[in-house]
Amino acid sequence: MPYCKICGSGTVVVYLPYAKMSLCQNCFLEFYVKRVKKTVEEYKMFREDDVVGVAVSGGKDSSALLHSLRKAFPKLELKALHINLGIPEYSEHCESKVKLLAKSLDTELITYDIRERLGFTVEDFMETRFRRKICSICGTIKRHIFEEMALEAKVRVLATGHNLDDMVSVMLNTFFNGHWSQLIRIKPILPPLADGMAYKVKPLIRSLEKENLLYCMYSEVPIRSLGCPHSNQTGIRKYMQLLEKLSEEDPGFKYIILNRFLELIPIIENAVPKPTLTQCKVCGFPSTNEICSYCKRTSLVKQKEDNY
């Protein structure tokens, strides 16, 4: 019968194979929050007197992020930022969980309802030629809206819930496909694209997906129980499966990949020409093209609305 490696109690709830540690519920939660705090401090993601926006989707990762940041930095001003994507049933469900969480933490919640603000929803792309690429369209839309929300909410820093599994599988995907300009953007802290825009930070890069779920369970964090009806990450899933296999052999494997890539990225960054940014002619945001990909994509569904 294992005992908690930290406090010695006999009520072990989790075993972390990469650290060879069995932990009880309280020690696991403390361990998790300490690691988030250490990651924020190591990469100087923000200071305790900052205003930090947290992009909360209603899923386990970003909900664990908001909750653990509140525990790790009790004095920090946090604003929860949520995008309602207008996906029937799913989006209302997600928003209701985020509302519950923000209320329980006494944190301001700002919701951007894309149907109200933009007159279309992510669902509308199902009627376009991007039907099969809806996840990537949704990602483009969310990234653009995060920038807008950060400006409106006046936050200097925007935190997202990307976890260790996400980081490492996206790193491998971009690496094997030679997408160097994308690879160099997978960093724990990304400076603003232009003056006045927000820093992007990822405090959960050392937290496994499974641990985020356990954190939510043991801290009674409300999270969505519905899956997105459009979710399909075939490319990335291939690397996730590969990583699970390799982690069975060596439980520290994901950390090793993360650490090696974090050493490699600045070297690649110096070798790859920096893209020249101009201002998108439509929205004015920084873009590598005359019209940014957000404006290009959304013009498709806007045209449709205009034709009614």
Where does this chain bind ligand AMP (CB under 6 A)? 55-57, 61-62, 81-83, 85, 139, 142, 160-162
Distance from C-alpha of 98 to C-alpha of 57, rounded to nearest angstrom:
7
**Residue from 292, 297, 298, 301 in contact with Zn ion (CB under 5 A):** 292
Task: Name which of Zn ion, ligand AMP, none residue 254 binds, using a CB cut-off of 5 to 8 Å depending on partner kind.
Answer: none
Q: What is the chain's Cα-based Rg? A: 20
Closer of 30 and 209 to ligand AMP (Cβ): 209
Could you tell me the smallest distance in angstroms from the CB atom of residue 307 to ligand AMP? 28
Neighbours of 103 (CB within 10 A): 11
Distance from C-alpha of 55 to C-alpha of 97, rounded to nearest angstrom:
13
Asked if 224 contacts 95 with a C-beta cutoff of 8 angstroms, the reply is no
Closer of 21 and 135 to ligand AMP (Cβ): 135
Could you tell me the smallest distance in angstroms from the CB atom of residue 160 to ligand AMP? 4
Closer of 268 and 283 to Zn ion (Cβ): 283
Q: Per rule CB under 5 A, is residue 141 in the interface with Zn ion?
A: no
3-state helix, strand, coil in the chain (%, to 5): 50, 15, 35
Task: Name which of ligand AMP, Zn ion, none residue 173 binds, using a CB cut-off of 5 to 8 Å depending on partner kind.
Answer: none
Task: Name which of Zn ion, ligand AMP, none residue 295 binds, using a CB cut-off of 5 to 8 Å depending on partner kind.
Answer: Zn ion
User: Which of 214-222, 223-231, 262-270, 277-285 is the region at the interface with Zn ion (rule: CB under 5 A)?
Assistant: 277-285
SS3 24: strand
- 112 forms bridges with which residues in the sheet? 83
Q: Per rule CB under 5 A, is residue 72 in the interface with Zn ion?
A: no
Distance from C-alpha of 286 to C-alpha of 280, rounded to nearest angstrom:
6
Sort residue 273 into left (φ over 0), alpha (ψ -120 to 50) or beta. Answer: beta
**Residue from 189, 282, 300, 302 in contact with Zn ion (CB under 5 A):** 282
